[in-house]
Amino acid sequence: MSLQSVVLDTPAGISARLGWDPATTVHDRRRILAKELIAAQLGCEVKDIKIEREAPRSFGYHTQLIASRDGADLPIAIKTASYRAATIVAICDPGLPVGVDIRDLQPDADELRQMRKHSHLLDESNVPELVHHWTHAQAVLEADGRGVRVAPDHVRLNSARTKGWIPDRAMQYALADVSRDAWIITIAYGLLPKA
């Protein structure tokens, strides 16, 4: 089996692909999908795009993927999330805070325990709702950029789950459910604070 991918229906300014293949490493899935997205956006061949991982700045620093063409870095942010044999890659303007998360509807016992520990849901026995809630919260955490320094239970979602935020910051994030097939996928992207 080779990597299969599909374009996702995303908000304006963000392009994303979902790819899956258990035989392709997560790092290769990220690079392949990023190259496909960027080549489509620029109208060039996939082979013209180079994807590298930036050098770590310090211990514990989570490096980003950097795209280049003809030796010049491209002003494109690459956001990724992977779960089991699936990966989502989203590209956007580097100034737009974006976070992505992906899960399936069959979390293992440890994942369920973690989700329930940080959930704000009244009925934590409803696994599909719990997974949707979790992907929304994780996407907001990714968009926020502080990662594990903020506990998932600090994320707040409106009742319709169309917006998320972390109370210690003025930034709010719109939430797009771009789920496909058996994959639950959320994209969180920044909204300007209202005056």
Does one domain contain both 75 and 101? no
Work out the angle at residue 17's Cα, subtended by the Cα atoms of residues 15 and 20, and round it to the nearest 5 degrees: 170
- What's the CATH code of the domain at 127? 3.90.470.20
Give CA–CA dist 185/132, Å, rounded: 8
CA distances from 55 to 23, 58, 85, 93, 118 (A): 27, 9, 26, 21, 33
Domain end call among 94, 120, 137: 94
DSSP state of 148: G
The residue range of the domain holding 120 is 97-195
Q: pLDDT by residue (tens digit) across 48-80?
A: 999 999 877 766 556 789 999 999 999 999 999
Does one domain contain both 112 and 79? no
Does one domain contain both 8 and 51? yes
Does one domain contain both 124 and 163? yes
Count of structural domains within the chain: 2
Decide if pLDDT at 101 tops 80.
Answer: yes
Does one domain contain both 181 and 107? yes
Does one domain contain both 88 and 116? no
Give CA–CA dist 189/187, Å, rounded: 6
Does one domain contain both 75 and 156? no
Does one domain contain both 81 and 141? no
pLDDT band of residue 148 (cuts 50, 70, 90) is confident
Residue 82: per-residue pLDDT? 97
Six-digit token string for 171: 């930034």
Does one domain contain both 72 and 153? no
Ranges 36-40, 131-135, 145-149: which has the least confidence: 145-149
pLDDT band of residue 192 (cuts 50, 70, 90) is low
Does one domain contain both 182 and 131? yes
Give CA–CA dist 40/142, Å, rounded: 25
Does one domain contain both 106 and 42? no
Which residues lie below 8 Å from residue 19, measured CB to CB, with a gap of 6+?
3, 4, 5, 6, 29, 32, 33, 86, 87, 88, 89
74: helix, strand or coil: coil
In the chain, the percentage of residues whose pLDDT exceeds 90 is 84
Domain end call among 35, 60, 94: 94
Model-level pTM greater than 0.85?
yes
Does one domain contain both 47 and 90? yes
Domain end call among 69, 94, 119: 94
